[in-house]
Chains A and B, each alone.
Chain A
């Protein structure tokens, strides 16, 4: 097979112009196809679409997502842009004439913006205050009908809002210094434009230094905007670094241009394919270029490194490149296959964007490999002999330069100190496991921005002052069966045979109630019948029942003891507030009335306000479903998860008085769900691809022992890195999860190169001792240069404004560094120790029985792993 693969590069060496043309034309065609829909609108081709909605991390049919959307519709809930206004200079905070004038104007402006759901806008001038006035008067009025004329009036607005639990900590901050506008929007992807418009208006109103804009949708939409900046800045910057480092090693600008071109072509082809196939550029897929680049460069550096070392020996491009390609064809094929397997395995995760990411990185790596073995030899062939003058090692033997000498010394030391080295490695791995056990799984889309970013500043400013900008909703529902309804009907005096007629097989509870009403209408004493049905209905309306409401009240006060909860709101708070102000506004009347009728009448009073429909955010008009709004001052998944647990614990300890179901929804919760899926999905896909790569390695080396040896750098790298994450306390988040598949691809690469060359050289040199010197010659140098070029090359990503890019940069560097070190240090020590077993069969091509059995077992395990999960 390798002979056939080698023929591909042979063809390129023979036909360099055609090989290059082929590569470039393919990239150009895809680029053209991507550009076409922009040049010729209306052409039936997929247009580049950006999607930053984390909701799309889950498939559209995912249960939690379907439920989330259904509840949002039922309770009229929208995505919200939170506009915080903070005045740190005035003694009354934002409650002064000038600031409130600005707030009023900003609110009026927000109403005019397209995409704003005006009727649901929450601002001092659009919400009602309820007050208990003199002489038994109850008063609903706009909290701030117009901007106040004096600072005293301004302060009064705060004092009024503070009395209303629904507003305190939400509309006005608990410290009385700040207020927030809640601007509901029709669709999430409008949030960036709307927040930008509001910021500009704030500048015009001269309150821009006081305005902070937060909320998940804004963060998400902004991420999409900055994602492109990062793609356009960070990725090229990384390429520049890699270029400079390669220049440092190889000193030939034209030559080192070739890996850059290969990387560029691979990115263009992959992203082109992504767009042309109608996939969106999502948070995940935006990182594809960053992942493809190092992998594309990796193989090329191997070729250049070997070429650099052997060129002086041949003094002939063709001979030298032929030599290099015949040594490297096999390892490069295998390293590429393992990387492809690592990423392709992501296709089996349950998260659509991760699937797309995995598949396209795999495609990109495949293309990068093909491009490397065709483009680079062709490129070298097209260079003039003259331009290679003076290229390559000055010394005849690779071991004679300083780097070579150093590496060889290292090789011998590893042989001499094999046992202590392995001992240290073992301790290292054990310590890593301690670190891994400390790993905290957590994510927060707002923390995808660096700390100094406006979004993070606003997030902190608002969450410090208010009850929280992160919303989670608990949906409570009392399900009623038609059979329950029948027995209730009989109880109030409906004759059983009539009930039977009124409830056909497939009819719902509300159908049957409707039938009962129709029946009542035509009876002589219709009113009496309607009253009976009223009784049945009020029986079904559990969220008007005082017992049920007391239960919610208890749950809410328990939630207040859960650290991350700033505040919770429900229908209970509305009832208690109105009840208090129906009496004299005293604290003792801030309670639930005793009967359903009293509750209904209290609510009827509330509905005489300007915003009666606010009630329907908390309960459905039939009072069979209710929501509990929970405001969290952290969007961390771990905090949401602890809230979920706190509620579940409470409910199992104190069951509700009626049989109700309770389910969470809201973006903060959805993020937790996809994270859980991500973690388990990643674990599983990693396990699967680990087994596949082990099988491939065993087949490649025709020995289970060598196969396991090849996997060792990966195991140590992964445990080292994830151990470090655990110790450092960095959260295991989306980018870190995805990086496990990258490490799978990259960490095995060095081992393959190293072991493949070790076996070939051992064959030539008869003993392991004699093999060490040449092995730590150009093969080790290639690995060393690779580690340096790519791990330092990704340093620019650390300066990205988006944290996932920083993480990826840091960890690509760490993975390569770890994997390279383990390959060069631990593999020689291990081979020294186990050389008898490893070289027993003289490296012949027949598999031993143990290996054969292992292969069968591995195949079995892979099948089981894929079938079971």
Chain B
């Protein structure tokens, strides 16, 4: 009798109390990319080989779609370089960049977002967020503090990883760690949130690192002067502003 009862109870407990993997992932996505209506941060990027960069990032939500504006301040020779990203749920993203020294606005081809962001160990996709629909998510573990989600690309070969695992904090739904694995369960890339603070009422990652476990290199991002719900105008996120940065938001 006991033998039969136990599994049934276990099954019940999951269906009643636990969230399913997709719900967790969706909440995590909200917590890490969609806080507030809009937001701003001054980001210092330190790459382990000694390079450092500083840029301001502006974001505004348009429903599930989003727009990002990235303005480089340092080093001086890339000062005023800017990126614009329009992220869409239903179609491929649009990306632009402005190279002031060449007075050139270029569109960056749609498609692969798993390319380096400004030479760092972060990818474009890490900055703007990976579409949860690209992967199949499973809840593989639940600890005292974390949900551990294993995500596998639906289309194999669409990304360089075989799968990745995310540790999502139960209370805040902030992903505090992500590990990327190759075929053969070899972990080769690792993200970690180093510092989480409550700012303007939102739980915010203010320090994060991406490690390349193969080369031993890493990039650390520190977010300063974070503000939410500033009322950023829609037209800030247009091509025109690439060349004429909105100074008031960049200081």
Contacts and interface: CB of A to CB of B under 8 A. Distances in A.
Interface of A: 76, 112, 117-119, 131, 133, 135-142, 145-146, 510, 527, 530-531, 534-535, 537-538, 544, 582-583, 593, 595-602, 604-605, 607-610, 612-613, 615-616, 621-622
Contact of B49 (A137, A510, A621): A621
B101 A593 contact: yes
Given A538-B77, A593-B101, A604-B78, A137 B50 contact: no
A622 B50 contact: yes
Contacts of A530: 74
Given A600-B75, A601-B99, A136 B118 contact: no
The interface centre, meaning the residue of A534, A596, A622 with most chain B CB atoms within 10 A of its CB, is A534
Top 4 nearest A-B pairs (CB, nearest first) are: A607-B119, A534-B76, A139-B109, A600-B77
Given A76-B215, A597-B78, A607-B116, 4 more contacts: A538-B77, A601-B78, A615-B119, A621-B51
Contact of B109 (A133, A537, A538, A583): A133
A612 B116 contact: yes
A612 B123 CA distance: 11
17 contacts: A136-B106, A137-B106, A138-B106, A138-B109, A140-B108, A146-B157, A534-B74, A534-B77, A537-B76, A595-B101, A597-B78, A597-B101, A601-B101, A608-B117, A608-B124, A615-B119, A622-B50
Given A146-B157, A534-B75, A137 B51 contact: no
A219 B118 CA distance: 40
Nearest to B105: A136
Contacts of B184: 112
Nearest to A541: B77
B128 to A, nearest CB: 13
B12 interface: no
Interface of B: 47, 49-51, 73-79, 81, 97, 99-102, 104-109, 111-112, 114-119, 124, 157, 183-184, 212, 214-215, 217
A598 B102 contact: yes
B109 A140 contact: yes
Contact of A601 (B74, B77, B116, B117): B77
A613 to B, nearest CB: 7
Nearest to B96: A136
Nearest to A119: B214
B101 A613 contact: no
B73 to A, nearest CB: 7
Contacts of B100: 597, 601
Nearest to B106: A138
Nearest to B47: A621
The interface centre, meaning the residue of B109, B114, B124 with most chain A CB atoms within 10 A of its CB, is B109
A597 B72 CA distance: 13
B115 A608 contact: yes
Given A527-B73, A544-B77, A141 B101 contact: no
Contacts of A145: 157
Contact of A137 (B76, B108, B124): B108
Contacts of B114: 610
A538 B76 contact: yes
Contacts of A612: 116, 119
A531 B116 contact: no
A146 B158 CA distance: 10
A117 B112 CA distance: 23
A250 B214 CA distance: 68
Nearest to A145: B157
A117 B106 CA distance: 34
Given A136-B107, A622-B50, A607 B118 contact: yes
Contact of B115 (A137, A140, A535, A604): A140
B102 A142 contact: no
A727 B104 CA distance: 64
A607 B53 CA distance: 13
Given A527-B73, A600-B78, A141 B111 contact: yes
A610 B115 contact: yes
B99 A605 contact: yes
Contacts of B214: 117-119
A609 B116 contact: yes
Contacts of A137: 106-109
Given A138-B109, A602-B102, A608-B115, A119 B75 contact: no
Contacts of B79: 534
Contacts of A117: 214
B99 A598 contact: yes
A520 to B, nearest CB: 11
A583 to B, nearest CB: 8
A593 B81 contact: no
A112 B81 contact: no
Contacts of A609: 115-116
Given A534-B74, A604-B78, A610 B119 contact: no
A235 B215 CA distance: 46
Contacts of B183: 112
The interface centre, meaning the residue of A112, A138, A544, A604 with most chain B CB atoms within 10 A of its CB, is A604
A602 B104 CA distance: 11
A119 B212 CA distance: 10
B136 to A, nearest CB: 21
Contacts of A140: 108-109, 112, 115
A605 B97 contact: yes
B101 A600 contact: yes
The interface centre, meaning the residue of A117, A139, A535, A596 with most chain B CB atoms within 10 A of its CB, is A139
A36 to B, nearest CB: 39
Contacts of A142: 112
B118 A608 contact: yes
Contacts of B76: 531, 534-535, 537-538, 597
Nearest to A583: B104
Given A112-B184, A138-B108, A598-B102, A537 B75 contact: yes
Nearest to A537: B75
A487 B102 CA distance: 31
Contacts of A600: 75, 77-78, 101
Contact of A141 (B47, B49, B97, B109): B109
A136 B183 CA distance: 37
Contacts of B51: 621-622
B101 A598 contact: yes
Contact of A538 (B75, B119, B212): B75
Contacts of A610: 112, 114-116
Contacts of A597: 76-78, 100-101
A112 B185 CA distance: 12
A621 B117 CA distance: 16
A477 to B, nearest CB: 16
A601 B74 CA distance: 12
A13 to B, nearest CB: 70
A593 B101 CA distance: 9
Contacts of A622: 50-51
Contacts of A136: 105-107
A596 B117 CA distance: 21
A583 B97 CA distance: 13
B118 A604 contact: yes
Contacts of B101: 593, 595, 597-598, 600-601
A608 B127 CA distance: 13
A582 B104 contact: yes
A153 to B, nearest CB: 16
B135 to A, nearest CB: 19
Contacts of A583: 104
B241 to A, nearest CB: 17
A93 B42 CA distance: 53
A537 B75 CA distance: 9
A621 B50 CA distance: 7
A602 B51 CA distance: 17
Contacts of A135: 107
The interface centre, meaning the residue of A135, A138, A538 with most chain B CB atoms within 10 A of its CB, is A138
Contacts of B78: 597, 600-601, 604
B87 to A, nearest CB: 16
A615 B101 CA distance: 20
